[in-house]
Structure formats: C-alpha cells, structure tokens
C-alpha cells in the first residue's frame, strides 16, 4: 500500500546517558494591539534585531516596551506578530508562516495562555520544535515553560507574570545553545515575589525566580515536564538546555535528510552510509562547539535490529539468522533505519566541595 513518506527521528535516553539538547535564538512575540484598527484578522508580522528597527507607528506604547524588553536580552531576532485579538487561534497561521521553529510567548493577556500551551503540545506530537513560555499551569511538556510570579521593575512598577513573558522569551532565545539559563540575572527586575516553597514549585514544573544579593535570578532553567517514563521523557529532559539541543539536532538531521537524500538517492547500503557519514561529521562539529561531549564517541549507524525486524515482519523469517553485516547490506524497501548514541554537555549547576582540615 502506498503511503506518505515519513521522517521519524526519535530521541531516546538510557537511565544514565545523555542523548539530547538546543535551538537557534528566534523569539516569536505575540501581541494584542489595537493600533492597526478593529479588524482582528489584520495581522502584522515584523522582524526586529535591534530597538532601532522597531516600527513604533504600528504598536501601542505598552507593546513597544514589551518588544524592547525582549530585545534587551539579545536574542538573534524577535518576530513580532500583532493583531487586534486575544484569540490564540488568530495567530497560528502567521506563526507557522513566519518561522518553522522558535520560542513563543503571548504577552499582556491571560486569555490565550491555555490555548498556546495546548497548541505547543499538539505541535510537539507532529514533530515540530516550537517552544513557549506562559502562565498555563499543569501543561507537563518539555516544550513549554510555566511561569507565575509577579515582580517589580527598576522603576518600582509592578510587573505581572504575563507581562514579564517578553523578558523571559528574550532570555531563553538569547541563551540558545551557548549557555543554560540557571542562575541567569533578570536585569530588568529589582525584586520578585518569592515562591512559598521553591523546591516544591520546581518539582511541580514551575520556572522560579528568586531574590539574590546581586539581583533577581532564575533558580533552575526547567520546563513544565513532570511526568517521566525513563525513556522519551526523562529527568534530563526537564531542563531547557537539554531540550534546546534535542530540537537543534532533530531539525538539522531531518533537514539534511529531506533536502539532500529523500527522493534523490536509491535506498542501498552505499547511499545510507553517505547519509550516516554526514550525520557523524555533524556530531563531530557539535562536539567541537561543546554541544556534544568530545570525549564521547557520538556515533550514528544502521539500526541492525530494527532493519532485521522489518524484514521478519514481511515474512522473511530467515532474517532472524542473518549476520549483522548481511542485515546492513539488505536495505529495507524505502526505509532507512538509523540509531545513534550521543552525549550532550550541560552547564555546571551543582557543587559538592569537601574541605578536610587536620
């Protein structure tokens, strides 16, 4: 039976082995803005890299400030999508037209928060790598960061959680794969309302800010994932920087396959090894940039057992006795089976320092 071509890249993780982490620095800021008129479907999409780029004629003063707050944390770019609506559904087409991935936040309104969180989870199931920060509790997703604290800015103005989302959006996009956001300084806040129980909040999947001697800082760079299965949802995947790299690797490998190999090469061992060689070269470059651990092998290869089972599934029971080399040589129809074992580097967070005095 003819079927739609599929590209399935599944990251799995053994209990003690890191196999994932990051992204590309794009912040997608959604704004409800009345400047453009009463028509809620009148969508404005603009891309800004500096505050000097902002077209101030199409935003309210509040929204201009939100864009500037996001840019102040130096993401690669801020894609601003605005219209006279607080319905998240009015923004989805513009998001997917503007960028195929990135960090998303809807600032200034509680109304769209649950719909954004739900959309992020549905996009994840479809293989997209959009991520979001918002105020929807209980989302339980590695692609969604839950935040719910009020603060005070440098001018002594109260900043509600939903109005601080542009700054967090800029922080997450700005950190990219370069660094984690644990202990990150929120330079535009003078103080924040402390969580009643920081440990409990973090365990419940909440991003928590805390007042430190030298400013307000992010306690731990986590997402809202709390339900773990030890395989596709692990403790390491609760950290933003781990998921950032997972997304980066997934998108890059998928693009390499789709743009260079899919439909262009016949499915045989020789050409499969060309693709795998390109993947392993990519892993080497990531290791050189400290995304992957250069002291780990970081290797992709033909998934012998998956390919063997595919042949057995067609009725070739003799495939159970084939040598691994024979399985590799017997490419299966139109499918390429690849497995990899990689180790992602995470930033230093915990310190145990023992002093012994004689």
| Nearby residues of 189 by Cβ (< 8 Å), 6 or more positions away | 151, 152, 153, 154, 159, 164, 167, 209, 215, 216
Q: Are residues 188 and 274 in the same domain?
A: no
Q: How long is the chain?
A: 358
Q: Is residue 137 part of a domain?
A: yes
Q: Can you tell me the mean pLDDT for 306-322? A: 96
Q: Is residue 289 part of a domain?
A: yes
Rounded-to-integer distance, Cα 200 and Cα 101, Å? 31
Residue-level pLDDT at 306: 97
Q: Are residues 214 and 274 in the same domain?
A: no
| C-alpha distances out from residue 149 to 144, 201, 203, 210, 337, Å | 16, 11, 16, 10, 46
Count structural domains, the chain.
2
Rounded-to-integer distance, Cα 107 and Cα 28, Å? 11
Q: Is residue 70 part of a domain?
A: yes
Q: Can you tell me the mean pLDDT for 189-202? A: 96
Q: Are residues 140 and 282 in the same domain?
A: no
Residue-level pLDDT at 36: 65
Q: Are residues 108 and 213 in the same domain?
A: yes
Q: Is residue 228 part of a domain?
A: no
Q: Is residue 254 part of a domain?
A: no
Pairing of strands 158-159, 101-107: unpaired
Residue-level pLDDT at 1: 67
Q: Is residue 244 part of a domain?
A: no
Q: Are residues 140 and 281 in the same domain?
A: no
Q: Is residue 5 part of a domain?
A: no
Does the pLDDT at position 41 exceed 70?
A: no
Q: Can you tell me the mean pLDDT for 259-288? A: 92
Rounded-to-integer distance, Cα 175 and Cα 6, Å? 32
Q: Are residues 276 and 194 in the same domain?
A: no
Q: Are residues 276 and 140 in the same domain?
A: no
Q: Is residue 349 part of a domain?
A: no
Range of the domain at 280: 265-341
- Give the single-character DSSP code of 314: T
Q: Is the pTM of this model over 0.85?
A: yes
Q: Are residues 40 and 158 in the same domain?
A: yes
Both tokens of residue 182? Answer: 């644990």
- Give the single-character DSSP code of 257: I
- Coil vs helix vs strand at 200: helix
pLDDT tens per residue, range 200-251: 999 999 999 999 999 999 999 999 999 999 888 999 999 999 999 989 899 8
Q: Are residues 211 and 131 in the same domain?
A: yes
């Amino acid at each position: 039976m003819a079927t739609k071509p599929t590209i399935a890249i599944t990251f799995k993780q053994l209990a003690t082995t890191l196999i994932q982490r990051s992204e590309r620095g794009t912040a997608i800021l959604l704004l409800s803005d009345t400047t453009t008129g009463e028509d809620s479907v009148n969508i404005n999409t603009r891309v800004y890299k500096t505050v000097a780029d902002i077209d101030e004629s199409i935003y309210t003063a509040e929204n201009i400030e939100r864009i500037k707050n996001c840019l102040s944390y130096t993401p690669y770019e801020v894609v601003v999508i605005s219209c006279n609506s607080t319905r998240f559904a009015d923004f989805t087409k513009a998001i997917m037209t503007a960028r195929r991935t990135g960090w998303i936040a809807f600032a200034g309104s509680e109304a769209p928060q649950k719909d954004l969180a739900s959309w992020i989870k549905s996009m994840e199931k479809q293989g997209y790598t959009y991520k979001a920060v918002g105020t929807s509790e209980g989302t339980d997703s590695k692609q969604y960061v839950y935040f719910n604290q009020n603060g005070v800015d440098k001018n002594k103005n109260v900043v509600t959680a939903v109005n601080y989302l542009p700054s967090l959006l800029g922080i997450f996009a700005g950190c990219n794969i370069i660094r984690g956001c644990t202990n990150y300084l929120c330079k535009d806040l003078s103080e924040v309302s402390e969580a009643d129980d920081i440990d409990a909040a973090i365990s419940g999947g909440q991003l928590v800010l805390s007042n430190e001697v030298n400013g307000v800082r992010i306690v731990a760079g986590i997402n809202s994932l709390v339900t773990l299965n030890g395989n596709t949802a692990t403790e390491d995947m609760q950290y933003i920087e781990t998921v950032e790299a997972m997304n980066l690797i997934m998108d890059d490998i998928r693009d390499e396959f789709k743009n260079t190999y899919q439909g262009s090469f016949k499915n045989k061992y020789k050409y499969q090894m060309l693709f795998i060689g390109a993947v392993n070269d990519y892993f080497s470059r990531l290791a050189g940039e400290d995304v992957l651990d250069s002291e780990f092998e970081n290797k992709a290869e033909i998934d012998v057992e998956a390919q063997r089972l595919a042949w057995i599934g067609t009725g070739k029971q003799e495939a159970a006795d084939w040598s691994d080399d024979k399985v590799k040589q017997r490419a299966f129809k139109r499918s390429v089976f690849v497995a990899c074992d990689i180790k992602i580097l995470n930033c230093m967070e915990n310190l145990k320092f023992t002093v012994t005095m004689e």
